[in-house]
Structure 1
Amino acid sequence: MISVGNEVISSGDEALILQLLPAMRNVQKALDSVSLRGKIKVTTVHAMALLAESGPPSSGSFDPRLVDTLQQLLAFNKDNESPFAINPYPFFAYQTDPTPETLAFCLFQPNSGRVDLGSGKLYKNMFDAQVDAVHAALSHMGFEDIEIVIAETGWPSSGDSNEVGASVENAMAYNRNLIAHLRSLVGTPLMPGKSVDTFIFALYNEDLKPGPASERAFGLYKTDLTMAYDVGLLKSNTSGQMNPPVTPKTQWCVPKVGVSEAQLQANIDYICGSKIVDCGAIEAGGACYEPNTIISHAAFVMNLYFQEAGRNPWNCDFSQTAIVTSQNPSYNTCVYPNGST
């Protein structure tokens, strides 16, 4: 994929905007001349600022002032079967509503979710809500079949004192949970069963970038080439094969003492709703249905999620309601899986 420019439409530079589509056509013409049509897609990347309305997602619509320009660009996308590339950042959405519930919603952590009254769909994370808002906006213009690609998304590991939520812990949680969400192939409520192609921003911190401190802290690596934090992606060994990080085999994830039933139920709803794991064992007749209590059911599915998601410490967080233990919580015929089973 070739992107001609980045967030040009939102730049306000009218001269540059006028040159965007002709430039895209020139690049497409060059690819056609060497028989690469369809093999390399030509597009341009857009900011979420193109949307005049994004909440709830089903009401997503583009800024009326940009519709004429977008109509021509989208016609190009459709004619050339190229994607609509967008840069959604839940971090910036959190800045406008810095509450614990919104943070959990943005970080793919257990939360009560948000119902879109227009579509009746339940959203469990901000990423899906933003992507579906773009899908709705495209649909409202008659371009619902154009593929959406996430050209950029990420979370800063540090920021200025007034930039709430910019931390290593939150950056790690966002990117790791985003990867797990995409790998699950659950898709979004309006586009189920499909993992949207997504690029994480960024590989390295940009220490010379102007603006708030967060702008210089989106990298997975620092400018001295050391890791800012481990995002949990697979690493290659000397043979070139891919292996996950090594973790102790006898570990289980269980609820912390004193966690409320409401919090544990939220964990159950999140885990079972994600479809990353099979929650059949805690359903009536399942091996772990008895005792039929929230704490027992939560313990089983929280551990199941922990094992399936990679058995990393961040997979046993659940908004700080869980803890990793070396004591096997299995009982009777209810066997809690661990890394050795």
Structure 2
Amino acid sequence: MAFLPDASLFILLNILIGINIARSEPFIGINYGNLGDNLPSPEDTVKLLQSTSIQKIRLYSPDIPMIKALANSGIDIVVGTQNSEIPALASDPNAAKTWINTNVLPFYPASNIFLIMVGNEISLDENFRKQLLPAMQNMQNALDAGSLGGKIKVSTVHSMSVLSHSDPPSSGEFQTWLVDVMKGFLGFNNATGSPFVINPYPYYAYNSDPRPARSALNSLGYNNVEIVVTETGWPSKGDDKEPWATIDKAKD
């Protein structure tokens, strides 16, 4: 499927309860990918972002020219690791230290990296699932060693498929076979103050009416973990079985 616009929004959902309401603020950000033709320079991209109300940018991998261009811009940065890096990050603490020393320390705090995403939508992948949490822990330890543990958070991005159902939202639950794994991730989020991150798309909700549910986290006892939406959007074109994937719908 193709999505319009190419840069999708991510929003901190301010639907928290208790003390989290006081410390959480909604924001609008943009996902920035560099797989395309005739892309503007990092410097021009930053100028464009500064002319909007966009406050944060997510980089799917450490795009060093963009990280440098964002220095002193007032725009906060989310940086992701490649999924292929996870086995090394999980098995070797020095690999995590090297990653932080290469991609974060030389640019922080002028380039305000505030969140590191270890992997993207791989919590369901049997090849990565057991390695993901150790990789996150090693990244956190590397940040702690660099005196950045309280300033930069670590998390991972989940797909909506981690939920077995979510309609109505109050009945939201994780996949039964995934509950113990999700408890591990949520325990990490809770202990480090990092958010639970997920990619919901309204297009699929329009087709089948599943809705992301705060209740899934609450049912496991993690009421205080924030939820961050890192991708959302609407496809502008699909196949014959996807009649709602149109440019007009995407514009709406």
CA–CA distance in structure 1, aligned partners of residues 188 and 134 of structure 2: 10
Matched residue of 1:157: which SS?
strand
For 1:45, give the aligned amino acid. V
Task: Quote the residue 1:48 is aligned against.
Answer: 160
1:95 shift after superposition: 2.6
CA–CA distance in structure 1, aligned partners of residues 222 and 206 of structure 2: 29
1:34 shift after superposition: 1.1
Alignment of 1:1-341 (within 5 A): 1-11=115-125, 13=126, 15-96=127-208, 130-131=211-212, 133=213, 135-173=214-252
Task: Quote the residue 1:122 is aligned against.
Answer: none
Task: Quote the residue 2:109 is aligned against.
Answer: none
CA–CA distance in structure 2, aligned partners of residues 35 and 73 of structure 1: 23
CA–CA distance in structure 1, aligned partners of residues 219 and 121 of structure 2: 21
Task: Quote the residue 1:292 is aligned against.
Answer: none
1:35 shift after superposition: 1.2
Aligned length: 138
For 2:121, give the aligned amino acid. E
Matched residue of 1:86: which SS?
strand
Q: Cα deviation per residue 1:166-204 (whole Å; 9 max; x = unaligned)?
A: 11111111xxxxxxxxxxxxxxxxxxxxxxxxxxxxxxx
CA–CA distance in structure 1, aligned partners of residues 124 and 178 of structure 2: 9
Q: Cα deviation per residue 1:235-269 (whole Å; 9 max; x = unaligned)?
A: xxxxxxxxxxxxxxxxxxxxxxxxxxxxxxxxxxx
1:160 shift after superposition: 1.4
1:59 shift after superposition: 0.6
* Aligned partners of 1:89 and 1:155 also within 8 Å: yes
1:19 shift after superposition: 0.6
CA–CA distance in structure 2, aligned partners of residues 172 and 37 of structure 1: 40
CA RMSD of aligned residues (A): 1.4
Percentage identity across aligned positions?
51
1:161 shift after superposition: 2.1
1:92 shift after superposition: 1.3
Extract unaligned runs of 5+ from structure 2.
1-114
CA–CA distance in structure 2, aligned partners of residues 52 and 95 of structure 1: 17
CA–CA distance in structure 1, aligned partners of residues 145 and 184 of structure 2: 23
* Aligned partners of 1:95 and 1:164 also within 8 Å: no
1:94 shift after superposition: 2.1
Q: TM-score, normalised by structure 2?
A: 0.52
* Aligned partners of 1:53 and 1:61 also within 8 Å: yes
1:38 shift after superposition: 2.5
CA–CA distance in structure 2, aligned partners of residues 58 and 154 of structure 1: 24
Extract unaligned runs of 5+ from structure 1.
98-125, 174-341
CA–CA distance in structure 2, aligned partners of residues 148 and 164 of structure 1: 31
CA–CA distance in structure 2, aligned partners of residues 146 and 96 of structure 1: 27
1:96 shift after superposition: 3.3
For 2:174, give the aligned amino acid. F
Q: Choose 1 or 2 for highest CA Rg.
A: 1
Q: Cα deviation per residue 1:136-184 (whole Å; 9 max; x = unaligned)?
A: 00000000110000011110111112212111111111xxxxxxxxxxx
Q: TM-score, normalised by structure 1?
A: 0.39
Using CA pairs under 8 Å that are at least 6 residues apart, name the structure with larger relative contact order, 1 or 2: 2
1:57 shift after superposition: 0.4
1:93 shift after superposition: 2.4
For 2:228, give the aligned amino acid. V
Matched residue of 1:156: which SS?
strand
CA–CA distance in structure 1, aligned partners of residues 160 and 199 of structure 2: 6
Bigger strand share: 2
